[in-house]
């Protein structure tokens, strides 16, 4: 972050080893973000890790207290004109547990996306 001067830094998975189901869900989710929120130039909205300057953290207003916080961080930073950078990361498969991204999580994300879209119109 010091080298680039960005306010928010997020991970961008450049290699994924978590299986085809998660890859497809991620592609659809990120394409939906590009269409709904015009986040062109930002891929992997939920990519980790996230880093923020103190000023960015204090400027952002979060409503989410669930998995959507990563996406809300990016959307809020963009609304405020903050510089967002991406750090390439490799995402490995977790052999100790199954993915949490099931039908309930997908519905939760869709609801959060709808709320954010309505919020961005007001």
pLDDT tens, 71-111?
A: 899 999 999 999 999 999 998 777 776 666 777 777 887 88
pTM for this model (two decimals) = 0.79
Task: Please indicate, yes or no, if residue 2 is contained in any of the structural domains.
Answer: no
Which pLDDT score is estimated for 120?
67
Task: Please indicate, yes or no, if residue 1 is contained in any of the structural domains.
Answer: no
Task: Please indicate, yes or no, if residue 43 is contained in any of the structural domains.
Answer: yes
CB 39 within 8 A of CB 46: no
Percent residues over pLDDT 90 in the chain:
31
Task: Please indicate, yes or no, if residue 111 is contained in any of the structural domains.
Answer: yes
Percent residues over pLDDT 70 in the chain:
93
Q: Which domain holds residue 63?
A: 8-121
Task: Please indicate, yes or no, if residue 34 is contained in any of the structural domains.
Answer: yes
State the total domains in the chain. 1
- The strand order across the sheet containing 50-52 reads 50-52, 8-16, 84-91
Which pLDDT score is estimated for 8?
96
Task: Please indicate, yes or no, if residue 3 is contained in any of the structural domains.
Answer: no
């Amino acid at each position: 972050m010091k080298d680039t001067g960005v306010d928010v830094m997020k991970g961008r998975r450049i290699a994924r080893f978590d299986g085809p189901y998660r890859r497809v869900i991620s592609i659809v989710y990120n394409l939906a973000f590009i269409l709904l929120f015009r986040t062109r130039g930002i891929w992997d909205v939920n990519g980790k890790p996230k880093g923020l300057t103190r000023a960015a953290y204090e400027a952002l207003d979060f409503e989410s207290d669930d998995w959507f916080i990563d996406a809300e961080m990016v959307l809020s930073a963009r609304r405020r004109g903050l510089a967002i950078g991406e750090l390439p990361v490799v995402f490995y498969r977790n052999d100790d547990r199954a993915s949490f991204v099931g039908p309930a999580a997908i519905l939760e994300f869709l609801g959060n996306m709808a709320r954010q879209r309505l919020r961005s119109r007001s």
